[in-house]
Structure 1
Amino acid sequence: MNNRLVKMLQIASTYMGTIVGAGFATGQEILQFFTRFGYWGSFTIALATGLFIWLGTKMMLIASEIKAKSYEDLNIALFGERYGKLISLFMLVILLGVTAVMLAGAGTIFYEHWNISYQAGLLITIAGSFLLLRKGMKAILAVNAVVVPVMLLFTVIVMIDTFNTPGSNKFITLTTDYSPWAAWASPFLYTAFNLALAQAVLVPLGAEIRDKKTIVAGSWIGGLGIGFMLLAGHIALSVHMPGIQQFAIPMGGIARQLGYYVQFIYIFLIFSEIFTTLIADIYGLTLQLEERTKWSRGLLTFVILFICYLASQIGFGPLLSTLYPMFGLISLGWLFLIIRKRVSYRRS
């Protein structure tokens, strides 16, 4: 029983840590996908939470059933042999780009907040990633076991402060000029985009767990945790609307109001989110490339980190601005196919 509980919590924390990335922690994702739609945001967060529970569960159950070695195996099961490989190749490029951006973001945190040079920050992050990833999935589980409780602590602190602030119920009355159609399309786009990226780590995680009831329970806990943090961020941001929209890091302005120590936790949280996304993406990439090249996982990790280090010197914005719209459209198709895919809920 205790072993099952541990696995459930590992699935939940890894699910939350993978979905709740740096964009989430800064508040930009919550603002763009939910808060700017006013009072509709609370309802669409509820819908997104349901989708995360349902489709996250399905993804890991399919991975468990087909004993997927990487996300390409899942895509082949969803799209067929030909298109599944094309989608996986496209995802490989996207993940490489996202990984380079995460590495550059980590270097920026070191430089702007901890008075350590950008290059030193990159090298420290690379060294930490390489050492941790030698342990494979165990490293991702361990890092998320630390990061996710800190995220939840910060969320609770923000919630308590928000409810002690005048206008804390603004999320109920906040109006918007956006169409309800745009508001209700947003949770589908948000879920599709995040789950499509998260499959790089959730697929091998699901494949490792043979007990389907454990997968279902872990996905429920993780999905509800994501929904709670989305709602907490939405309520906090709503209090400061519309002025909060001018900030590049909306949650940073809220954190500064809570004092030095909370702000320190927030900066640590941003770095931790970047780091968890970084190692999760690298892990997914190594599994994918291992099947294609037959190189050792250690060598592939080193090669990926080296490529990302080179890319972080020049920035990756133009490439991502081109690929992300296309990836969003493909993610919606991927979401539709995973909804249609039938899966057994029997315990193995």
Structure 2
Amino acid sequence: MIKGEFSNILKVAFLYMATIIGAGFASGQEIIQFFSIYYKGGFLGIILAGGLFSIIGYIVLSKVYTDRIRSYDEFLFPMMGYFLGRVMEFIVMLFMACVMSVMTAGLGNILMDITGLDYRVCVIIGVAVCLIAILTNIKGIVMLSSVISPVLIAGIVFVGCYILVSKDTSVFNISNKFSVITNNWVFSAILYVSYNTILSTVLLTGMLPYLKSRKVSAWGGVVGGGMLGVTALILNSALYLFYPHSITSEIPVLGIIQNNSRLLSQIYSGVLILAMFISTVTSGYCLADRISKKLKLNYKLVAVILCAMTIPLTSLGFSNLISTLYPVFGYLGLFMVFVILFQHVRGLFSNKYSRG
């Protein structure tokens, strides 16, 4: 029983992580944009972000379990009301569409580099594979995340540790002296948590069948947030070591290891493909699920149409999305984070006074 419970906790934690550890995280772009540019403050920002991820994961999953929530609507509208709920719903769906399109574009780029095929052909191949996974619905995605997330984490941690151990910074001819750009690492960390909460909440509110007990729901969120923080700290340490060279690369982590090990760079290209794949699949599933339920359409038909629509939208840039659109959605998602935390605190005080 204990072994089974631990397995369920890890399954929930890995699914939580799968909604956040996408290509932006694995490539190092998100870490650069939201943490590394703040130098030492970036490390404190990651600790803050990891803590917030654990708290939010704990609150959302605990509420899903205790209130027997089975859909995003059951979570969102009682918490925000009809009007604000509709506004947030539109923001959520727009963000999922952006993530799905850009990750598909990134997947096409990497496949083109590996295979030498035409970019459009690679995009179509990538979309087709992602569609197959999306059509498996939540059960298939949970199984995929249970397999892919540990591989992603292991790959990121291994490469990060390799870079820290080898630390051959001489190839970049950079100084080890760092100057502080800004001290606003706190707000940057909050923005990072904010836009990631938009997508992760959608998926977590559909996790009731996998929350076998109160302990699984609580610890699944806490463990997931904690592992995210540790993984980000390792990656940020590697990027910090090679700063400012790392900021000039489209895919910072890959740019660093290409100068140290060709074999490792090829392996990490595979890690990035998995990261882009899981990002596309999770966002695609959430979007197809929302649209099919709202419009009362067949889920599989909606999934096919959405995947087909991403093909002409793959001209959007990878790093540009992270540096421009992600912060915008971070600001838009701040209200959701605030409401989740506020409602939880209010609930704690209500229970305390009702017992008294």
Normalised TM-score (structure 2): 0.86
User: In the aligned structure 1, how far is the partner of 2:239 from the partner of 2:78?
Assistant: 40
Confirm or deny that 1:140 pairs with 2:119. no
Change (3 A) 1:260 1:299: same
C-alpha contact 1:100 1:316 (8 A) present in aligned 2: no
| Distance of 2:5 and 2:28 partners within structure 1 | 33
| Deviation (angstroms), 1:194 | 0.9
1:13 aligns with: 14
Among 175, 180, 183, the alignment partner of 1:177 is 180
What amino acid is aligned across from residue 255 of structure 1 in structure 2? I
Cα distance in 1 for partners of 2:251, 2:159 equals: 18
Whole-angstrom CA distance in 2 between matches of 1:46 and 1:174: 23
Stretches of structure 2 lacking an aligned partner (at least 5 in a row): 170-175, 352-356
Give the alignment of 1:273-288 within 5 angstroms: 273-288=275-290
Cα distance in 1 between the residues matched to 2:328 and 2:209: 28
Is the Cα–Cα contact under 8 Å of residues 61 and 206 in structure 1 kept in the other structure?
no
Could you tell me which amino acid in structure 2 is paired with residue 311 of structure 1? L
Which AA in structure 2 matches 1:303? I
Partner of 1:170 in structure 2? Answer: none
Match of 1:188 among 181, 187, 190: 190
Amino acid at match of 1:217: W
Deviation digits for residues 145-196 of structure 1, max 9, x if unmatched? 23222223221342144134378xxxxx96433332x112111111111111
Amino acid paired to 2:334: L
Please name the residue that 2:335 is paired with.
333
For residues 294 and 153 of structure 1, the distance between their equivalents in structure 2, rounded to whole angstroms, comes to 40
Q: Is the 8 A contact 2:57 2:220 kept in 1?
A: no
- Equivalent residue for 2:265, pick from 263, 266, 277: 263
User: Aligned partners of 1:176 and 1:64: how far apart in 2?
Assistant: 47
Q: Which stretch shows the higher mean deviation, 317-326 or 109-118?
A: 317-326
CA distance in 1: counterparts of 2:276 and 2:164, whole angstroms: 25
Aligned residue in 1 for 2:50: 49
TM-score scaled by length of structure 1: 0.88
Q: Report the count of equivalent residues.
A: 338
- Report the Cα distance in structure 2 between the residues aligned to 1:128 and 1:15, rounded to whole angstroms: 22
1:208 Cα deviation after fit? 4.6
Q: Distance in 2 between matches of 1:67 and 1:53?
A: 21
Match for 1:37: what amino acid? Y
Tell me the alpha carbon deviations over residues 281-319 of structure 1, each in whole angstroms, 9 at most, x when there is no partner. Answer: 11111221122111111111111111212322x547899
Question: 1:74, 1:203 within 8 Å by CA — same for their partners in 2?
Answer: yes
Residue in structure 2 matched with residue 204 of structure 1 by the alignment: 206
- 1:64 and 1:207 in contact (8 A); partners too: no
1:337 CA drift (Å): 0.8
How far apart, in 2, do the equivalents of 1:201 and 1:281 lie? Answer: 9
Change (3 A) 1:166 1:109: closer
1:272 corresponds to: 274
State the partner residue of 1:82. Answer: 83
1:45-86 deviations in Å (ceiling 9; x for gaps): 111111111111112222334444433432213211221022
Distance 2:321 2:103 in 1: 14
Unaligned runs of 5+ in 1: 168-172
* Structure 1 residues 321 and 223: CA distance shift in structure 2, 3 A: closer
Supply the AA of the counterpart residue of 2:310: C
CA distance in 2, matches of 1:151, 1:320: 20
> 1:111 & 1:272 partners in 2: Cα distance?
15
Aligned to 2:32: 31
